[in-house]
Structures are given as C-alpha cells and as structure tokens.
Amino acid sequence: MSLTPAACSVHTHTGFCDGKNTLAEMAAAAYAAGVRYYGVSCHAHTPIPADEGAVLPRDMTAYRRVVLNLRAEYAGRMEVLLGLEWDSQSDVEPVGFDYWIGSVHYQKGGNGRFYAADWGEKQFIACRDELFGGDALAVAEGYFREVCRVAAKKPPILGHLDLITKLNAGNRFFDEAAPRYKAAALAALHAVDPAATLLEINTGGVSRGYRTEPYPALFLLEEWRRMGGRIILTSDAHSADTVVYGYGQSAALAKAAGFAKSTLLTLGGPVECAL
C-alpha cells in the first residue's frame, strides 16, 4: 500500500485540553478516516487565565498514561504517537514525547498579561492598543519575534507559522502584503532550521471558518522550499469530524509552492510520501 499524506494526523486536540471530543473518540474517527499514524498533541501548560483556553496540567503523567494505553489498544492497526503542542509561554519543557509542536499563541505584556493571537478580536485589539500603541503591524512583528524564539528550540514541527493572520481575513487589522509584515514573517521563517524542523500546513483556521487558506501563506511556503525545508500536513483538529480536514487543499497549496513530497511522522521516525 502506498502512503498518502492523509495517513498521518499528528496535530490534534482532545478533551484533555480544549478539544471537543475524548481521546477515544478522536482515535476512532482517525482510524475510520484511514489515518495510520495518529498523534495527540494537547496544549502544554501555560499560565494563562482559565477562561482563555484549556491546557494540560503541569503534571502530564495521566495524559501520558492514557495515550500510551491507547497505543497498546491500537497496536497492529494504527500507530498512536504521544505528542505535545508547546507554547512559547509554556512553563513546562517538551521532553519525553515522541514529538512536539512548537507554537506561538500569546504575547506577554510588561504588565504580566497574556494577549492571545487567536482568541478573539477583543484580545487582538487589547494587544494592539495596550502593548503596541495602536499599531496592528507591530502586533504581527511581536508575534513573529516569539516565533523566532520557538524556532531556536528546534521543534520537530513548527506550528501554524502565521497564526497571527487568523482574525485578519480581508486584511481587517493589517495589510498582509505590507513590506513590514512580510519582512517579519520571513525573518521568523529564516530562524527555522530546515534540517531539524518540519513546517506544518495547517487547516485549523479553515475548518473553523476563520480563513479560506491554510497556514502558512504561499510566499512563506515558497521561501521554505527554497530553504530546502520539508512540510507535514496537519488539521489541528479540535473535533472528531476534522481529523484530516482539508488535506486536499493543503496538498494543492504545497504543490503550488513547488513541493512534491510531504513528511509523515511514525513511531519509527519521519517517512516521506508523494503529495
């Protein structure tokens, strides 16, 4: 059997963090959809207010145990990988996992407050006005400086590189074609080590109705290809019905950027397949 990118889905969330479905429900949906390498990547603990997103507890013992039990349950049918989506503001280290995804969701102000990039317009506006003097492009520049910090840790996967565009459909807050925006995004991309890190093409903003195109934008993917980077298709699924959402669209985007292959994560290591 030849592999396709949809055999692998390793950016997924469950009720252990902010996912809508249980781990068992997510795994069953993945298996039914043809996934053979299913990874769970709940949000690592980050000291944010409880009403601004659900994350794992600092002690991840129970999380590990339940995921490893699931691995035993699916043995011979589907590989279950133990992962973690680590945030640049997390107060735990991403060690002891099969893989981890390095992501930026927050900027921390000098006032100690966390401002989410993706939690809603009110948060974005507060970040713009309280941290950046009303300059929306500066919010994006601050976000990409955080991405540089994550990239320096050489995550196995870099999460949703340009998540800061999530609420910016129609350039509502800032112009994604502005030289300042592009320079900041490219600087973040250039901080990523193509030998150490996979860049994900993530449909989470599309499945949830925020964007019409996956992350990241085409100009960033084209540059990543020139850098010799490799990609992985992910859904960032927060519900069982989106485990392999939009992989066809992501494959088309990858091909438009000049990629011919995608990488799958397996328990035996990364494997490449044709797009």
**Which residues of the chain form contacts with Zn ion (CB under 5 A)?**
85, 103, 236
Tokens 């934008």 locate to 217
Longest dimension (CA), the chain: 56
Min dist CB 193 to Zn ion, Å, is 20
Peptide bond into 94 cis (omega under 30): no
Task: Compare residues 85 and 162 and give the one whose CB is closer to Zn ion.
Answer: 85
Residue 9 or residue 225: which is nearer to Zn ion going by CB? Answer: 9
State in angstroms the smallest separation of the CB of 44 from Zn ion.
Answer: 10
Q: How far is the CB of 35 from Zn ion (least distance, A)?
A: 16
Q: Report the SS3 class of residue 250.
A: helix
C-alpha to C-alpha distance for 192 and 52, rounded to whole angstroms: 28
Tokens of 150: 């994550």
Give the shortest CB-274-to-Zn ion separation in angstroms.
Answer: 26
Residue 52 CB, nearest distance to Zn ion (Å)? 13
**5 or 19: CB nearest Zn ion:** 19
What gap in Å lies between CA 176 and CA 178, rounded to an integer? 6
Q: Please, which residue, 55 or 264, has the CB nearer to Zn ion?
A: 55
Q: What Å distances lie between residue 63 and 36, 83, 229, CA to CA?
A: 21, 10, 31
Phi first, then psi: give them for residue 45, nearest 5 degrees: -60, 130
Structure tokens at 101: 């995804």
> Toward Zn ion, which CB reaches closer, 116 or 137?
116
